[in-house]
């Protein structure tokens, strides 16, 4: 009996020690483990309360968005009906179409409206690319051909010292990926939801020669945000607000931080209503101008949409429809791809790409901008995102051309 009591006491003490160790372990990074435990809320893409802390980026007073009247309407009733059916059929939450100087269509799914926020995913990368043009114009960064190690001083004594900012903007950085896969103890999960995104990203080492391989990477875009912050000497959200959002935004945006006062998530998670994404598309369409003000240098917009050497469908943190491929992939180390069932109907498609079909399409030749926000998914067996890239822009383009042809007929 005494032996049994001793064994029971030993087991109790052991369990207590294990529990205490677990509590201490979780408390050491409680914010990360809280995020990890409630990951399903992040997957909803619309639960803004989950993303904390955030910094509010206040808007300015940009020109009003002209809305099409009966005289300026270019979308036929049939095309509008087809677009609404398309949006409802794929989990869209918003669909906006701008054409020839006016907002032709503004549709919202049930429970959403023009003031709704949701996760933009990697579309944030394309916004950050615009800020680089501003930072260069202001003299914070002499050139994108400067070594990234000028600002990431942790790289100055190893092979990473040869990586240029341009390499990083083109996703040709040559860096290794964060380790650990989906393990809660791995760097990859901590890069996504942890409390030291910069520290995790800086651990990545040189794997390929700079400029040699296209390898789309959130880690790389986090480091670009860190470079921008160090180069300008101010927090990312502050630079965004002063130099871009105060010119473009009609309502506020929110930037997610890894911890209070910490680093912004520049690989994704810029939260703002759909009309602001339309305005960012119009900024591209108008070569960096908002009204009479040149907000982003025109020459920089041209650089952003110039195909990179290792991927004709990628510029500077921004996607291009330059070359048709049935499967557009994300380069080395990424199994996922986006199906392209057919070529784009226009040769000059520029687009912001966010996971699950968050998109801003800009087609300058047609004076066209399309914004789609909503839910999507990934076929884990094939690696295909459940988003047929050219389907939406081609639906709009064919509808517009059909209407134009009918109007020309006697």
What are the C-alpha distances in Å from 2 to residues 7, 14, 15? 9, 18, 20
Asked whether 154 and 202 are in contact (CB, 8 A), the reply is: yes
The structure tokens 């690319």 sit at 129
> Per the omega criterion (within 30 degrees of 0), is the bond before 5 cis?
no
pLDDT confidence of 182, banded at 50, 70, 90? confident
Dig out the tokens for 18 from the structure: 């294990």
**301: exposed, middle or buried (Cβ count in 10 Å: 0-12, 13-18, 19+):** buried
Residue 183 has what pLDDT? 87
Give me the domains of the chain, ranges plus CATH numbers: 53-408 (3.40.710.10)
pLDDT in tens, 49-78: 999 999 999 999 999 999 999 999 999 999
Residue 21 has what pLDDT? 43
Let me know the angle formed at the C-alpha of 402 by 398 and 405, rounded to the nearest 5 degrees.
140
pLDDT in tens, 315-339: 999 999 999 999 999 999 998 999 9
Q: Is the dihedral of CA 41, 42, 46, 52 positive or negative?
A: positive
Asked whether 295 and 244 are in contact (CB, 8 A), the reply is: yes
pLDDT confidence of 20, banded at 50, 70, 90? very low
pLDDT in tens, 344-403: 999 999 999 999 899 999 999 999 999 999 988 888 889 999 999 999 999 999 999 887
């Amino acid at each position: 009996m005494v032996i049994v009591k001793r064994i029971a006491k030993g087991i109790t003490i052991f369990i207590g020690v294990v529990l205490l160790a677990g509590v201490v372990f979780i408390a050491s990074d409680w914010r990360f483990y809280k995020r990890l435990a409630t990951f399903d809320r992040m997957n909803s893409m619309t639960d803004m309360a989950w993303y904390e802390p955030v910094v509010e980026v206040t808007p300015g007073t940009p020109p009003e968005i002209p809305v099409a009247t009966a005289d300026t309407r270019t979308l036929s009733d049939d095309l509008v009906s087809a677009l609404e059916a398309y949006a409802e059929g794929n989990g869209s939450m918003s669909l906006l179409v701008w054409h020839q100087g006016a907002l032709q269509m503004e549709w919202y799914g049930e429970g959403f409206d023009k003031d709704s926020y949701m996760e933009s995913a990697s579309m944030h990368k394309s916004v950050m690319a615009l800020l680089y043009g501003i930072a260069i114009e202001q003299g914070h960064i002499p050139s994108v051909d400067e070594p990234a190690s000028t600002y990431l001083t942790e790289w100055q004594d190893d092979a990473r010292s040869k990586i240029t900012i341009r390499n990083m903007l083109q996703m040709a950085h040559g860096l290794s990926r964060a380790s650990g896969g989906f393990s809660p103890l791995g760097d990859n999960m901590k890069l996504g939801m942890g409390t030291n995104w910069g520290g995790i990203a800086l651990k990545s080492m040189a794997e390929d020669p700079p400029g040699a391989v296209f390898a789309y990477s959130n880690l790389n875009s986090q480091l670009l945000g860190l470079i921008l912050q160090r180069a300008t000497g101010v927090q990312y959200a502050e630079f965004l607000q002063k130099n871009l959002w105060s010119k473009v935004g009609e309502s506020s945006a929110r930037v997610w931080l890894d911890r209070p006062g910490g680093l912004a998530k520049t690989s994704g998670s810029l939260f703002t209503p759909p009309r602001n994404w339309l305005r960012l598309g119009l900024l591209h369409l108008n070569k960096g101008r908002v009204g009479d003000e040149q907000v982003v240098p025109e020459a920089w917009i041209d650089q952003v949409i110039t195909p990179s050497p290792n991927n004709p469908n990628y510029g500077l943190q921004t996607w291009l429809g330059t070359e048709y491929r049935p499967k557009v992939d994300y380069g080395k180390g990424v199994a996922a791809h986006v199906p392209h069932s057919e070529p784009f109907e226009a040769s000059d498609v520029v687009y912001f790409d966010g996971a699950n079909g968050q998109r801003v399409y800009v087609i300058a030749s047609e004076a066209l901008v399309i914004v789609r926000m909503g839910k999507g998914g990934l076929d884990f067996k094939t690696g295909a995102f459940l988003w047929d890239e050219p389907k939406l822009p081609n639906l709009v383009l064919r509808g517009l051309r059909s209407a134009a042809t009918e109007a020309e007929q006697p």
